[in-house]
Structure 1
Amino acid sequence: MTSTPEGYRSGFACFVGRPNAGKSTLTNALVGTKVAITSSKPQTTRHTIRGIVHRPDAQLVIVDTPGLHRPRTLLGQRLNDLVRETWSEVDVVGFCVPADQKVGPGDKFIAAELEKVAQRTPVVGIVTKTDLVPRERVAEQLLALQQVMAFADLVPVSAVDGFQVNVLADLLVDRLPHGQPLYPDGELTDEPEATLVAELIREAALEGVRDELPHSIAVVVEEMLPREDRADLLDVHANIYIERPSQKPIIIGRGGERLRQVGGTARRHIEKLLGCRIYLDLHVKVAKDWQRDPKQLRRLGF
């Protein structure tokens, strides 16, 4: 077994911010592969996904959290609780604010919450999506963010073109404790495969749906089994849950066209993730008002 170099650091960082602040895209850029799903729809992330960055001098475990928001449902409340729980357990927090949107009440709400943990956990301010705006706008956003709270560091980044992603990684690693690696070399996430597969199906289902629908979509993988007569093929059976019967046609589409598109997109991503061919069997089911029902939330994994 190779020994850990002197001065090696290992620990946890988490990204927080409003929904759609670029946290998942940044997590994927740092890890170097897709471990968290991304979408233009707000509140895409519903689980804390851990992505693992391996470096010669450190192992950085990034916890991608749901966007913190003022909750309107029991699901929203549970997601907020999950975020706050994560803050209390990490070594450094990255507060993400997109460059293309003004610092607003949502950011100030999060900053007020972060002030409570900042005494014991360093908070790094991150201006994301710098590729979308001119350089002067990035400078303005850094100044605006500085007014919101006192940061241990402030850095602009773009996960899309790679601008300063390595600089951010260095800043986060510098704040980790010295210690041994927490995960085996080469492991990029500790999420169960079924969770990642369900998330990739949900990501495909989110594309192109109307704004009111994303929050109503949940996906559960019922089983993943190798095909008995073919070692190179995996059968994946999954259910897409929505809250009302009227939402079913939106997901399925005319003559099942939309569901076939969702299945095709999801299948390509899942095959890339698992490294094998899959047969994906998707069904759409109604779980009435599941976001507000404790029993249904438990059944759907929240």
Structure 2
Amino acid sequence: MTTEANFRTGYIAIIGRPNVGKSTLLNKLLQQKISITSKKAQTTRFRINGILTDEQTQFVFVDTPGFQTQYTNRLNTAMNRVVTQSMQDVDVILFVIEAMHFDQRDLAALKILPKNVPVILVINKIDKLADKNQLLPFLSKMSKTFEFATIIPVSAIHKMQLPELLTTIRTYLPVNRPLFDKDEITDRSQRFIAGEFIREKLFRLVGDEIPYSTSVVVDQFNLEGDLHKIYATILVEKSNQKAIIIGKKGEKLKQIASQARKDMELLVGGKVYLEVWVKVKSGWADSESVLRNLGYE
């Protein structure tokens, strides 16, 4: 029987370059979607805490943006700052890489890891390997790059080795009382996550570059009886981007809103009315005041 005397609670930062599966890993560990994902790199922009509580442990996972070395506007500087700040005062770091891939982008992220916090190397996407024997020399190579506490290969998307990962993480967490109620799964509001769901659909449904020039503001988030009424604005840099997002006869924007609404209904456990507009605000990604209002600064 678990008592307060051996209950463990702690913060676990999830770090890595863009597009290695950090947000997918968080969602699968929690068994609920709170962090947005897409095949495009750099989808995550904010620090999001995901909370998993069982009979023995409360895991507080800190999902972070991918450490960015390619772009240098104010937005990406702010995102990199989120990564470095998220490693302060955590108990464990999960450094996530993709199986059989380790390049200069991974190395840049590896170099910012603190030396006084246990780092577990999580090798993700092992389901993509036709021959699992390929992993052995790769594991040996990676063990020489940094003094990792341990190395655990996983497939986040297929939940392979995730129970083993949780068991290992627990050994590095301090004995402590829970910091959150056992039913809480995130420290972010439903309003915040609603905006993120819209942004995810932009990454999934609109061309390669445009999503990086957009942000989402949730103007209203109201509960009227059993109906959540949500009004949101998509910010873009240029008028031609607005036209692309709206699409012919408004079809693209309808598709974005429809898919986001379905995710929101799963999140809130009820019906959602969603209305989305698109507004041109040139230079928002380099504007200190706009970024502050959007929560980046």
What's 1:88 paired with? 88
Q: Distance in 2 between matches of 1:143 and 1:11?
A: 29
Moved more, 59-68 or 241-250: 241-250
Pairing 1:237–2:269 present:
no
Q: CA deviation at 1:295?
A: 1.6
Pairing 1:197–2:194 present:
yes
What's 1:226 paired with? 223
Q: CA deviation at 1:139?
A: 2.9
Asked if the contact 1:29–1:159 (Cα under 8 Å) also holds between the matched residues in 2, the reply is: yes
Amino acid paired to 1:80: N
Q: Distance in 2 between matches of 1:254 and 1:138?
A: 48
Q: Distance in 1 between matches of 2:290 and 2:121?
A: 37
Amino acid paired to 1:142: L
Q: Give the fraction of aligned pairs with identical amino acids, expressed as a percent.
A: 36
Amino acid paired to 2:117: T
Aligned residues: 294
Q: Distance in 1 between matches of 2:208 and 2:256?
A: 17
Q: Distance in 2 between matches of 1:268 and 1:188?
A: 19
| Equivalent of residue 150 in structure 2, options 149, 153, 157 | 153
Q: CA deviation at 1:3?
A: 8.3
Q: Distance in 2 between matches of 1:126 and 1:275?
A: 33
Question: What secondary structure, in the 3-state scheme, does the structure 1 residue paired with 2:168 have?
Answer: helix
Asked if the contact 2:38–2:203 (Cα under 8 Å) also holds between the matched residues in 1, the reply is: yes
Question: What secondary structure, in the 3-state scheme, does the structure 2 residue paired with 1:148 have?
Answer: coil
Question: What secondary structure, in the 3-state scheme, does the structure 2 residue paired with 1:261 have?
Answer: helix
Q: Distance in 2 between matches of 1:285 and 1:195?
A: 19
What's 2:284 paired with? 290
Pairing 1:28–2:24 present:
no
How does 1:163-178 map onto structure 2 within 5 Å? 163-178=160-175
Amino acid paired to 2:199: R
Runs (5+) with no aligned partner, structure 2: none
Q: Distance in 2 between matches of 1:4 and 1:216?
A: 50
Pairing 1:18–2:17 present:
yes
Q: CA deviation at 1:136?
A: 2.6
What's 1:250 paired with? 244
What's 2:180 paired with? 183
Amino acid paired to 2:87: W
Q: Distance in 2 between matches of 1:59 and 1:281?
A: 37
Q: CA deviation at 1:133?
A: 1.6
Q: Distance in 2 between matches of 1:275 and 1:22?
A: 26
Question: What secondary structure, in the 3-state scheme, does the structure 1 residue paired with 2:75 have?
Answer: helix
Instruction: Provide, for residues 123-164 of structure 1, a one-character-per-residue CA deviation record: whole Å limited to 9, x for no partner.
Output: 111101111123133334323322321101101001111110
* CA 285–144 in structure 1, closer or farther in 2 if over 3 Å, else same: farther
How does 1:103-114 map onto structure 2 within 5 Å? 103-114=102-113
Question: What secondary structure, in the 3-state scheme, does the structure 2 residue paired with 1:160 have?
Answer: coil
Q: Distance in 1 between matches of 2:245 and 2:169?
A: 40
Q: Distance in 2 between matches of 1:3 and 1:149?
A: 35
TM-score, normalisation: structure 2: 0.95
Instruction: Provide, for residues 74-131 of structure 1, a one-character-per-residue CA deviation record: whole Å limited to 9, x for no partner.
Output: 111111111101101210000000115x2100111111211xx12x211111101111
Deviation beyond 6 Å, 4+ runs, structure 1: none
| Equivalent of residue 127 in structure 1, options 107, 123, 128 | 123
Q: Distance in 1 between matches of 2:284 and 2:189?
A: 23
Q: CA deviation at 1:270?
A: 0.1
Question: What secondary structure, in the 3-state scheme, does the structure 2 residue paired with 1:176 have?
Answer: coil
Asked if the contact 1:15–1:63 (Cα under 8 Å) also holds between the matched residues in 2, the reply is: yes
* CA 141–255 in structure 1, closer or farther in 2 if over 3 Å, else same: farther
TM-score, normalisation: structure 1: 0.94
What's 1:65 paired with? 64
Q: Distance in 2 between matches of 1:81 and 1:42?
A: 18
Q: Distance in 2 between matches of 1:140 and 1:208?
A: 38
What's 2:206 paired with? 209
Amino acid paired to 1:129: K
Q: Distance in 2 between matches of 1:106 and 1:165?
A: 25
Instruction: Provide, for residues 229-272 of structure 1, a one-character-per-residue CA deviation record: whole Å limited to 9, x for no partner.
Output: xx121210000111111111221111110100011100000011
